[in-house]
Amino acid sequence: MFLLRHSVLENTWSKPAYILAVMLEEMRKPEAHQLKWLFWVDAAAIVMNPKISLDVFLPPAEFSHIHFLATEGEHGLNTGVFFIKVHPWPIGLLSAIIAFPGYRSDVQLAESDQSAMSELLKETYFQENHLLIPRNWFNSYQIEHDDNDPNHPWQINFGDLLVHFPKGQHQDERIRKYIDHAERHLPECEVDFENKTYLREIQSFWAGLHVEIMSEKD
């Protein structure tokens, strides 16, 4: 586990800088000793179900060209929680994010590093090597609605891997509530993988993407 305990650069630019440092440290090792993927989690997120293995969310072997997995929020790309592969491609992406304010100073960024990443992933060089996947897999939100509201698509459900708290009113209060839930290891939160819908959803997602790719080749 790696923890970013203090700022490296101003504001949220510390995130890509720190991940880049970790990535470079891994890349200098012999391949057999390298980590394969990094899983970034913002401080405003809490693991609720440790029974879910992170491996289940990674791309199958036939999608080895995918080096970045993220989800979307209400305002587009969300970089609070994501997977990034230890590979030269992310080094280019992270370097471009850090450099963005300097060489793209004409672009107004609403969310600093997150907006910079969103802009870069639209470019041809980066476009084909990332995927946006269903948010409930590993980036469930807790928003200012009743807990586990099944009628709201942004809400965490029992047994989800983690809960992420976007900025808003009463954020600290809501975080403390879920920390209490996590520390009590409530059975309704720590649901076995087999009893969740993850496996069916994940298999369906990658199978559908495979069919789409094959159709494009034809």
Calculate the dihedral angle through the C-alpha atoms of 84, 51, 140, 119, rounding to the nearest 10 degrees. Answer: 0
Model confidence over 74-123: pLDDT tens digits? 778 999 999 999 999 999 999 999 999 988 888 888 889 999 999 999 99
Residue 218 pLDDT class (50, 70, 90 cuts): low
- Segments in the chain forming alpha helices (H): 14-27, 88-103, 112-120, 124-127, 171-183, 198-217
Spell out the domain ranges in the chain: 11-50+64-217
Q: At the topology level of CATH, where does 11-50+64-217 sit?
A: Spore Coat Polysaccharide Biosynthesis Protein SpsA; Chain A (3.90.550)
Mean pLDDT calculated for residue range 145-159: 64
CA distances from 97 to 35, 80, 194 (A): 22, 15, 38
Mean pLDDT calculated for residue range 181-190: 93
> What local confidence, expressed as pLDDT, does residue 1 receive?
86
> What local confidence, expressed as pLDDT, does residue 187 receive?
92
Residue 147 has pLDDT above 70, yes or no: no
Whole-prediction pTM: 0.90
Whether the CB-CB separation of 153 and 85 falls below 8 Å is answered with no
Most confident of 63-77, 82-96, 144-158, 176-190: 82-96
Residue 66 pLDDT class (50, 70, 90 cuts): very high
**Other residues' Cβ atoms within 10 Å of the Cβ of residue 153:** 10
Mean pLDDT calculated for residue range 54-75: 92
Mean pLDDT calculated for residue range 152-179: 80
Whether the CB-CB separation of 160 and 46 falls below 8 Å is answered with no
* Lowest mean pLDDT, pick from 71-75, 114-118, 150-154, 191-195: 150-154
Mean pLDDT over all residues of the chain?
88
> What local confidence, expressed as pLDDT, does residue 204 receive?
93
> What local confidence, expressed as pLDDT, does residue 154 receive?
58
Whether the CB-CB separation of 70 and 120 falls below 8 Å is answered with no
Calculate the dihedral angle through the C-alpha atoms of 200, 204, 206, 211, rounding to the nearest 10 degrees. Answer: 160
Model confidence over 34-47: pLDDT tens digits? 999 999 999 999 99
Residue 12 pLDDT class (50, 70, 90 cuts): confident
Mean pLDDT calculated for residue range 175-204: 91
> What local confidence, expressed as pLDDT, does residue 155 receive?
74
Percent of the chain with pLDDT over 70: 91
Mean pLDDT calculated for residue range 11-31: 93
